Chain A
Amino acid sequence: MKNTFVKIASLTALSAILFTACKKDKVETPAPVEQELITTIKLNVTGDGGFNKTFTYKVENGFGSTTQGNITKDDVVLAPGKTYNVSVELLNEKVSPVENLTEEVVGESDEHLFLFQSSPATGNGAISFSDGSKDGNGSPFNQTIKFNTATAGNGALTLTLKHQPTNKAATIPEAAGGETDVEATFAVKLQ
């Protein structure tokens, strides 16, 4: 009686272990999805005399990749002492057809904030910003904005998109709170 129990127990254990160790059917692995991916920022710039240019910033990595991927950065080349109308476009070029995320962000303008920073802030190569668009509550949103270029020179322009900022009146990302969805730095040439 006892011996039978012992035998049955040992057999059960062994067979279970062997069974599990030998199972070898294929595992279905779904393709993981990078959530709400943005790959590309486009600055659509229009100005006097039919000026119409698009400057692109694109970083292709962060998706199953642990090395620096391809980076496409256009230089923002504008004329000094002028005013330009700018609108920002956000794309996910990872998918086909390309997904335009601008409408989605505009639809939730109260939860987003575009911030523009120029380096230097004034002087040669600087850009100042005005007339940024507002969200439904009348707070800054800045998806469309005016660039006022200073005197000729080289500088840099940083565009930051904040999600759920805690301070919509902020003019620098450090003061805005929330999460950074996009941070793009363009080289600027005013010539």
Chain B
Amino acid sequence: MYRSLAAIVVVWLCCSMPLFAQQDSCGYTIKCLVVESHSGRPLFPVSIYIDEMHREFEADEDGRFTIDKACAGVYHIHFHAAGYEHLVQQLHVTANATLKFKLAHTANMLDEVVVTDEHTHTIIQSKDQLKQSDIAANSGKTLGDMLQAVNGVSVISNGATIAKPVIHGLHSNRIVLLNNGIRQEDQQWGGEHAPNIDPFLANNITVLKGAASVRYGTDAIGGVVLVEPAAVRTNAGWDGEVNLAGFSNNRMGVASAMLQHGFKAVPGLGIRVQGTFKKGGNYRIPGYWVANTGVEENNFSGAIAYKKLHYGAEVFYSRFNASLGIYRGSHTGNEKDLMAAIKSPVPLVQSGFSYDIDRPMQHVTHDLVKAKLYADSKIGHWDLVYAYQHNYRQEYDVMRVNSDKAQLNLTLNTQTLNLNLEHKLGHDITGQAGIDGIYQENFFQTGDRLFIPNYRSAGAAAYLIERYRKNDWMLEGGVRFDYRNYDVYNPEGQNQQVVNYLFDYNSMSGTLAFRQQLKPGWHWSATLSNAWRAPQASELFSAGLHHGAARIEIGDKTLKPERSYNLNLETDFNINQKLSADVSLYSQYINDYIYLEPGADILTIRGYFKTFSYRQTNAWLNGADVSLQYKFNDHLKVHAKGSTVLARNVSKNDWLILMPADRVSLGIKYTTNISKTLQDCYISLDGRYVFEQKRIPSDFDSIDYPRPPAAYLLADAEIGATLQLRKQPLYVSLGVTNLFNTRYRDYLDAFRYFIDQPGRNIVLRVRLPFNF
């Protein structure tokens, strides 16, 4: 199988500088470069797997990847790249090192090995990644909260428990979330519907910033979040991991465990099970407990994988199950109640600590079944993925008469199918082509109040993305065609007569990108892309009261699809491993941007309510994300980040409402090894300053009250270490967020009307990976 490897492969030791003299030591860093054997050019994309570590890596666009925290020993390292020989190499780790691996082109040989995993790294686009270590360092947080670490990402929230990401000022249905390669379809209709994903499943999380419809389909106007689990272990043996976290603020405990096994009797067959339990009570803002804000999650997943050299299959199942209490004081009866709550200097509903969850509350389950087949052929690498998602959302309103019934029982069932071919044309062109299909059903139950009408939707798409790579630059172009229809059954008028509507949408989208290396470690890129999305059912058909905001929202059946054009310029710079910088500028024009415009008041039996109607305008969003990092030495590093977004309503020549305020952050981290058993000890301090949002529409006071909250400064601190007990590492950290228990409110938090943001939170985390 691995024939003539010795001849093809050259492992070249550039330099080696021992850090510790001791054997058995861990914490080595191996920097690797993968190149084409005949031209010496960096190779990309390449996926790398190390048997003994059960770790997966992806080479970056310069063919580089880093194996960090490696223990001394002998390893087998596998390389997979489309159109290249499968390479297996023995690796002796005794010191820090820089290595170069060469892969030979298969030159149309029939039976050569081409196995790459997900194709997420193949698109030139401004992106940021949370690696496994970043995810572990933030374990127990919601996905939305975790993503705040990414520059250019903020969150829109309902207090401390419901958070969803905002990328470059856009959120909810303008962002696509890919969970394990599958487009997450979990009723992202409002700000109070958080993504139903267990972050403990993720091995890495990638955020693509800016329009990315070509590969990921409609709706990806603001960007894409890819949540990717590690590959299932298929080589013989057992391993796993236990994660524990405790949070002081809401007395929350989180436990997550994963166990996987590769069968010896059936080589290539592996199985993994994983589960998470989370329970927290009312959280605390400076001076008060927040009534009814408990949270409980029970999530689990299982996967079976069969991996051969040229083909394989995978079946994955996951269930997300959450109950969330919503602050009682955020449900108001009418505008007067809302004003009274806003003007009250103290939270109107007060309570002590409790784990109980009462009305108003949400209960959500999300099931995902995914089946994947993949194989290599002469043309390239094929993937066929089918997925079924079942999302069931129950909302329990505050009721006059006690009952066990939910007032909303919404089901969204989605089936998706994707066939993707990753291919290589000649020496310089790589690409992917594919087709997508989707079928969706959304329905409510007898006895529910009306929120979203029943609908059925089907769609199909075809796409092609090609990349030409020459010496130090590459050019990428892609096109996609989408078709989507909606068959809607909307109860209307005083008699709630069901009226059937049919909507058909189809559109082209495209991308053109260029990336060039100016000097080793210094790149710049330009991306021109577009994306579109069809108006969602709530924008077309809303006709009712929004309790949290005490307002009536009115849909418009004549809304057209939104279309966005995005230009992104980025440069990343990393020289001498000391200073690294990343500057990204973007400009996004959105035609027919859908937003809510205030209208006449309506008198109801509860009194007067403001009305808001869905309208369209042209929007223009410009912004910048800047991040800098300086490493003084192996121990001390500092980083600084900043982001801004200027969002204009072009048609009205005014600012757009509810856009994230400018923010800057500064952090410092000191890392050292104290002894053989106490390694990677660190202490870090982080500060975040969020400015007051002053770019608001001129008619703000007639739409919203009060004005956006004041600027705030928050400080976080953390200490941590790796306890190396023989070969068994144990990761421990103790962190504090909102160190000074600062009182503040955030403009994108829906609870800003009622209460402050959470106070000080002390978090203890323990992570124990094991292997036998």
Is A5 an interface residue, CB under 8 A from the partner?
yes
Contact check: which of A3, A29, A67, A164 meets B398 at CB < 8 Å? A164
Chain B residues near A10: list those with CB within 8 A. Answer: 419
Is B606 an interface residue, CB under 8 A from the partner?
yes
Is A62 an interface residue, CB under 8 A from the partner?
yes
Chain A residues near B14: list those with CB within 8 A. Answer: none
Given known contacts A5-B377, A9-B382, A166 and B348 CB-to-CB distance under 8 angstroms: yes
Is A95 an interface residue, CB under 8 A from the partner?
no
Is B525 an interface residue, CB under 8 A from the partner?
no
Query: Top 5 A-B pairs ranked by shortest CB distance?
Result: A180-B333, A183-B607, A179-B333, A20-B439, A17-B437
Is B375 an interface residue, CB under 8 A from the partner?
yes
Q: How far is the CA of A36 from the CA of B400 in the complex (A)?
A: 7
Output the nearest chain A residue to B311 by Cβ-Cβ distance. A5
Q: Are A163 and B458 in contact (CB under 8 A)?
A: no
Given known contacts A10-B419, A13-B437, A32-B496, A39 and B398 CB-to-CB distance under 8 angstroms: no
Is B454 an interface residue, CB under 8 A from the partner?
yes
Q: Are B417 and A181 in contact (CB under 8 A)?
A: no
Chain B residues near A71: list those with CB within 8 A. Answer: 603
Chain B residues near A132: list those with CB within 8 A. Answer: none
Q: How far is the CA of A61 from the CA of B609 in the complex (A)?
A: 12
Within 8 A of B (CB), among A19-75: 20-21, 23-24, 27, 29-36, 38-39, 41, 59-69, 71
Is A6 an interface residue, CB under 8 A from the partner?
yes
Q: Are B491 and A31 in contact (CB under 8 A)?
A: yes
Contact check: which of A33, A65, A173 meets B494 at CB < 8 Å? A65
Q: Are B400 and A180 in contact (CB under 8 A)?
A: no
Contact check: which of A2, A31, A184 meets B496 at CB < 8 Å? A31
Output the nearest chain B residue to A5 by Cβ-Cβ distance. B375
Is A16 an interface residue, CB under 8 A from the partner?
yes
Q: Which of B333, B401, B496, B603 has the most CB atoms of chain A within a 10 A radius of its CB?
A: B333
Q: Mark B597-613, 1 if CB is under 8 A from A, else 0.
A: 00000111111000100
Contact check: which of B348, B384, B443, B498 meets A12 at CB < 8 Å? B384
Q: How far is the CA of A112 from the CA of B455 in the complex (A)?
A: 39
Q: How far is the CA of A69 from the CA of B248 in the complex (A)?
A: 51
Q: Are A183 and B444 in contact (CB under 8 A)?
A: no
Chain A residues near B458: list those with CB within 8 A. Answer: 17, 20-21, 23
Is A131 an interface residue, CB under 8 A from the partner?
no
Q: How far is the CA of A69 from the CA of B605 in the complex (A)?
A: 11
Is B718 an interface residue, CB under 8 A from the partner?
no
Q: Which of A31, A41, A182 has the most CB atoms of chain B within a 10 A radius of its CB?
A: A31
Q: How far is the CA of A39 from the CA of B489 in the complex (A)?
A: 26
Q: Are B382 and A6 in contact (CB under 8 A)?
A: yes
Within 8 A of B (CB), among A165-191: 166, 173-175, 177-184
Chain A residues near B611: list those with CB within 8 A. Answer: 66
Chain B residues near A108: list those with CB within 8 A. Answer: 400-401
Q: Mark B492-510, 1 if CB is under 8 A from A, else 0.
A: 1110101000000000000
A6-B382, A60-B494 given; name 18 further pairs at CB < 8 Å. A2-B375, A3-B377, A5-B377, A9-B382, A13-B384, A13-B417, A20-B438, A27-B487, A31-B446, A32-B496, A36-B401, A38-B605, A61-B602, A64-B492, A64-B543, A178-B333, A178-B337, A180-B337
Q: Are A64 and B606 in contact (CB under 8 A)?
A: no
Is A79 an interface residue, CB under 8 A from the partner?
no
Q: How far is the CA of A65 from the CA of B435 in the complex (A)?
A: 41
- Taking the nearest CB of chain A, how far is it from the CB of B131, in angstroms? 33
Chain B residues near A67: list those with CB within 8 A. Answer: 602
Q: Are B437 and A16 in contact (CB under 8 A)?
A: yes
Output the nearest chain A residue to B604 by Cβ-Cβ distance. A62
Chain A residues near B545: list those with CB within 8 A. Answer: 62
Output the nearest chain A residue to B438 by Cβ-Cβ distance. A20
Is A88 an interface residue, CB under 8 A from the partner?
no
- Taking the nearest CB of chain A, how far is it from the CB of B389, in angstroms? 14
Q: How far is the CA of A61 from the CA of B544 in the complex (A)?
A: 10
Q: How far is the CA of A166 from the CA of B337 in the complex (A)?
A: 12
Q: Mark B548-564, 1 if CB is under 8 A from A, else 0.
A: 00001010000000000
Chain B residues near A30: list those with CB within 8 A. Answer: 444-448
Is B369 an interface residue, CB under 8 A from the partner?
no
- Taking the nearest CB of chain B, how far is it from the CB of A125, in angstroms? 22
Contact check: which of B340, B407, B444 meets A174 at CB < 8 Å? B340
Q: How far is the CA of A65 from the CA of B604 in the complex (A)?
A: 11
Q: Mark B77-112, 1 if CB is under 8 A from A, else 0.
A: 000000000000000000000000000000000000
Q: Are A182 and B606 in contact (CB under 8 A)?
A: yes
Q: Mark B431-457, 1 if CB is under 8 A from A, else 0.
A: 000010111000111111110011110
Q: Are B332 and A64 in contact (CB under 8 A)?
A: no
Chain B residues near A5: list those with CB within 8 A. Answer: 311, 375, 377, 382
- Taking the nearest CB of chain B, how far is it from the CB of A126, in angstroms? 21
Given known contacts A30-B444, A173-B340, A184 and B605 CB-to-CB distance under 8 angstroms: yes
Q: Are A13 and B419 in contact (CB under 8 A)?
A: yes
Q: Could you write out 9 A-B pairs with CB less than 8 Å apart?
A: A2-B375, A10-B419, A31-B496, A32-B448, A32-B491, A33-B449, A105-B400, A180-B337, A181-B400
